[in-house]
Amino acid sequence: MPIVQEGVVLGDDVLEIIEYLQDCFEKLERGEDNLILGDPFYQRASGKPPLTDEEVDRVITAIDAEFAFEIGNYPGYHRNRSGANAPVDFNRLSPRARRAMVEGLDAILARHKAAQEAAVTPAA
């Protein structure tokens, strides 16, 4: 169920992504990134090819950059809202955990996209 936070509607997809990223971050901070597990049967939606190591690295770098931008531009908001005062730095994850995290994000987004498409596709 979507929620409104600070005047912004956060959909179910966004809420699940936030929850997943928080879980990955907590495991990283506890030194348990080995518990960020990939799905051994993971396949990308719509027959897309598997993610390359370079694509995984670009996604992790983009997430870190977004967190750094947010904290750098809105430090008071983030400190007061979540206590965040430094970027996450998911680049610290092991290569295996990085891949598992990105594939997990890809799977979440694909699942929500498929549900949205099914909701707007008229029944035959």
99 vs 58: CA distance, rounded Å = 11
Is 0.75 topped by the overall pTM? yes
- Confidence (pLDDT) at 79: 64
Residues 58-114 pLDDT 10s: 999 999 999 889 888 877 766 666 666 667 899 999 999 999 999 999 999 999 888
Residues 15-62 pLDDT 10s: 899 899 999 999 999 999 999 999 999 999 989 999 999 999 999 999
Indicate the DSSP class of residue 3. Answer: E
56 vs 100: CA distance, rounded Å = 9
- Per-domain boundaries in the chain: 3-119
- Cβ(102)–Cβ(59) below 8 Å: yes
